[in-house]
Amino acid sequence: MRWTEEQVPELTGKTFLVTGANSGLGFETTKVLARKGAHVIMAVRNVQKGAVAQAEIRGSTELKHIDLADLDSVRALAAHLHRERRTIDVLVNNAGIMMPPRQLSKQGHELQFAANHLGHFALTLLTLDLVTERVVTVSSGLHRGGRVHYEDLDGAGQYNRQSFYSQSKFANVLFGLELDRRLRAAGDQRRSLLAHPGYSATNLQLAGPTGVLRAFMRMGNAMFAMPAAQGALNILYAATAPEAQSGQFIGPDRLREYRGWPSVVQPDPKATDEADAKRLWALSEQLTDVQLSTTDLHQQS
């Protein structure tokens, strides 16, 4: 059976926080969530572009600023949500950047690792006490073959934009699965799921790459990619389907997960390494200065 937008349940009364909600997969996800009755907090880096996107969405939404590559910005949004005493039923860690030339974040981390992993790691831990149902972290099929470059985390020694993108998406999988393990160990009923959109045509492939790589990405989007709305179904399934289980990875079911309809897929076996996940978790705590408290883990137990 094809799981489509029609299978998204009624969401009236629920609140979702979606990072990168103003374009691409985040925008398509937000449109469906709002259409199904949810209130969506659109967490975006560019508020002006966010307002343009918000005007196109029918339903209940609000804009919040976040720059996931800047841990100060992540902390500011988390603090703001706590001051407002917000409840977030589902947190969708969607925003990302892809294959730019080497750059460092405000805190001195390689930009893709900072925005795609560290920012979402910090946001999740800082807001987990507000989350009631589940966390969805969006990875990529390009996590396969990736690894964490512990010996050269910021790319100062040797930077390859593709391998460092794979590093960040590999880290997403390590993080999402380790969060699932920690929730289960605490008897916490909340869920941590992963999703990837297959090969979906978005501005992600065009905003970061430059030169020949950008031209190649543009051609690929036009010739091979599926629409962003279909890729977003994988995120929507992970975020809303009652039957979706903690620890599952949702991705397309055909053509080596490049295209198709939402299904349970298997991550790269290396990304299921618990020792590596714990090592990355400890490093991420150190780099973000954010830790997960026992109280947060037992909130739903």
Active-site amino acid positions:
165
Q: What is the 3 state secondary structure string of the chain?
A: CCCCHHHCCCCCCCEEEEECCCCHHHHHHHHHHHHCCCEEEEEECCHHHHHHHHHCCCCEEEEEECCCCCHHHHHHHHHHHHHCCCCEEEEEECCCCCCCCCCECCCCCEHHHHHHHHHHHHHHHHHHHHEEEEEEEECCHHHCCCCCCHHHCCCCCCCCHHHHHHHHHHHHHHHHHHHHHHHHHCCCCCEEEEECCCCEECCHHHHCCCHHHHHHHHHHHHHCCEEHHHHHHHHHHHHHCCCCCCCCEEEEEECCCCEEEEEEECCCHHHHCHHHHHHHHHHHHHHHCCCCCHHHHCCCC
Print the SS3 string covering 100-149. Answer: CCCCECCCCCEHHHHHHHHHHHHHHHHHHHHEEEEEEEECCHHHCCCCCC
Question: CA 64, CA 41: separation in Å to the nearest integer?
Answer: 7
One-letter amino acid of 144 = R
| Alpha carbon distance 287, 109 (integer Å) | 9
Could you give the CA distance from residue 122 to residue 83 in angstroms, rounded to a whole number?
A: 18
